[in-house]
Amino acid sequence: MVLFANTISAQNKKFYIFLCFGQSNMEGNAHIQPQDTTVNPRLQVLETVDCPNLKRVKGNWYTAVPPLARCNTGLTPADYFGRTLIANLPQDLTVGIVNVSVAGCKIELFQKDSCKDYAATAPAWMLNMINEYGGDPYGHLVAMAKLAQKNGVIKGILLHQGESNPNDTLWTQKVKGIYNMMLKDLHLKARKVPLLAGELVSEDQGGKCAAMNHIIDQLPDVIPNAYVINSAGCPAAPDKLHFTAEGYRMLGTRYGLTMLGLLGYKSSATAPVQTNSNTGR
């Protein structure tokens, strides 16, 4: 598997790359369980920080055995997003994940004009994470994405964030600015690179920030190629802010099923998802 990962060296149009960013739920909060550690080598992760404990070096591709964010993070929706794609895409296609996420951060951390000011006031525990990304998570994600583009083609962007921006009616506009800047910096076309944003722990699970979902659901109204992933029924952790491992598996599968449809493929599996306003949300 390691040999397979390290042979990726030239751009391959059959290597589909997905960028992931957000806060703790995208970073991965649940403990990784034995069933999560068997991974098809067609699912790859670009290591974005040096992880001696995982025997991974920043900037190299590896079979996507979790954790997929940093060295000691947990299970993330990106895990089962990728597995869902691999299970349903043709055998000659490979999927790559690039995940830069920071627990507890507001969306402002990924805005170019507010990142430094936000980091300057961040608590020490968060600042340590930010510093792992060179003090600039957005810039780090773009740098890693440019590196990934040498090997494959970026096909989509995944976001899970909002718990730290409760009731922020400007959240959709802030996300739009980040998305547009990312497209510009990576020379991508909006019509070819959808943005998939997951809802927070839902009201039916007692989610403490479930009210924010009403704002997240409006994202397709400001980004034509945005899709919201429904979190209803995804089990929550006791804190009612994070998902359990099973919750991440369910939510990640929903991200994957939505992306499969956007790529023009079908799956025998079904899961409730929300589409964008252009398709009758």
C-alpha distance from residue 175 to each of 59, 124, 169, 198, 264 (Å): 26, 25, 11, 13, 26
Active site residue 267: no
Active site residue 217: no
Choose the catalytic residue: 113, 187, 239, 268. Answer: 239
Place of tokens 């190629």: 225
Choose the catalytic residue: 24, 101, 164, 202. Answer: 24
Choose the catalytic residue: 136, 164, 231, 242. Answer: 242
Distance, CA of 189 to CA of 143 (rounded, Å): 18
* Cβ 153 vs Cβ 11: under 8 Å: yes
Active site residue 239: yes
* Cβ 58 vs Cβ 48: under 8 Å: yes
Distance of CA 263 to the CA centre of its chain: 17
* Cβ 61 vs Cβ 6: under 8 Å: yes
| CA dihedral sign of residues 115, 120, 126, 129 | positive
* Cβ 46 vs Cβ 96: under 8 Å: yes
Residue 27: phi and psi, rounded to 5, are -60, -40
Question: Which residues are the active-site residues?
Answer: 24, 239, 242
